Amino acid sequence: GAGVSQSPSNKVTEKGKDVELRCDPISGHTALYWYRQSLGQGLEFLIYFQGNSAPDKSGLPSDRFSAERTGGSVSTLTIQRTQQEDSAVYLCASRSGQGVGSPLHFGNGTRLTVT
Amino acid sequence: DAKTTQPNSMESNEEEPVHLPCNHSTISGTDYIHWYRQLPSQGPEYVIHGLTSNVNNRMASLAIAEDRKSSTLILHRATLRDAAVYYCIRHSSNTGNQFYFGTGTSLTVIP
């Protein structure tokens, strides 16, 4: 079956512009996560959606970052007034439920470059 | 706060077994241990997970210490395609279902 799909795969933007990154999770997966990975670093948690519950936004680095998940499926991560330090790979993952046994399924990420 | 500790890097010869260690000394009784790996230019992929007992699947084996303060991911015969960064993660639904990734272990496989 289809995996997690992210678009675009690459995005180059000028400092100060807004960007939107899209994630299509695996059909039926109720949980969706966004992570950020800077060059040579591990994954930094950003935000987590579970069903219709309020999202866990505790990892968002500033109020320039926001995310929404429409209809419990597709998610969009928005970065306003981008800065050079926002350059990173943004990874989305989904999983099938709240149980600790279900694994994360990742997309291949969006590589964001802010010039 | 990754809550796990792994060596930054390891090397292995091709076709030999690899033992990747992970320390999680503050683990609670309900935390699962998950392992993921990330190949270059890809998102992480699930490898294996377990709670108390040792686990085997087609990719690897997971050996969990009796006190659960450490675990070891075992690749039985390393191939060049196993060269990746391996992440050991504690996961508990009691902590908001977050998966905290550390910096992982970068595995180099020598032909």
pLDDT tens-digit map of A89-98: 999 999 986 6
Taking an 8 Å cut-off on Cβ atoms, the answer to whether A99 and B93 are in contact is yes
pLDDT tens-digit map of A58-95: 999 999 999 999 887 999 999 999 999 999 999 999 99
Confidence (pLDDT) at B9? 97
Confidence (pLDDT) at B91? 84
Taking residues B85-92, what's their average pLDDT?
A: 90
pLDDT at B2 over 60: no
CB < 8 Å to A105, chain B: 46
User: Distance between CA A25 and CA A5 in Å, rounded?
Assistant: 6
Out of B43, B46, B104, the one facing A109 most closely (by C-beta) is B43
pLDDT tens-digit map of A8-50: 999 999 999 999 999 999 998 999 999 999 988 889 999 999 8
Closest residue in A to B96 (Cα–Cα): A56
Out of B45, B93, B101, the one facing A43 most closely (by C-beta) is B101
Confidence (pLDDT) at A41? 85
Confidence (pLDDT) at B93? 65
Confidence (pLDDT) at B90? 87
Taking an 8 Å cut-off on Cβ atoms, the answer to whether A42 and B103 are in contact is yes
Own/partner pairs, A79-85, CB within 8 angstroms, 24+ separation: A79/A18, A79/A19, A79/A21, A79/A112, A80/A18, A81/A16, A81/A17, A81/A18, A82/A13, A82/A14, A82/A15, A82/A16, A82/A17, A82/A18, A82/A19, A82/A112, A82/A114, A83/A15, A83/A114, A84/A15, A84/A114, A84/A115, A85/A114
The model's confidence at residue A99, banded by pLDDT at 50, 70 and 90, is: low
CB < 8 Å to A4, chain B: 43
Confidence (pLDDT) at A40? 82
The model's confidence at residue B47, banded by pLDDT at 50, 70 and 90, is: very high
Confidence (pLDDT) at A42? 86
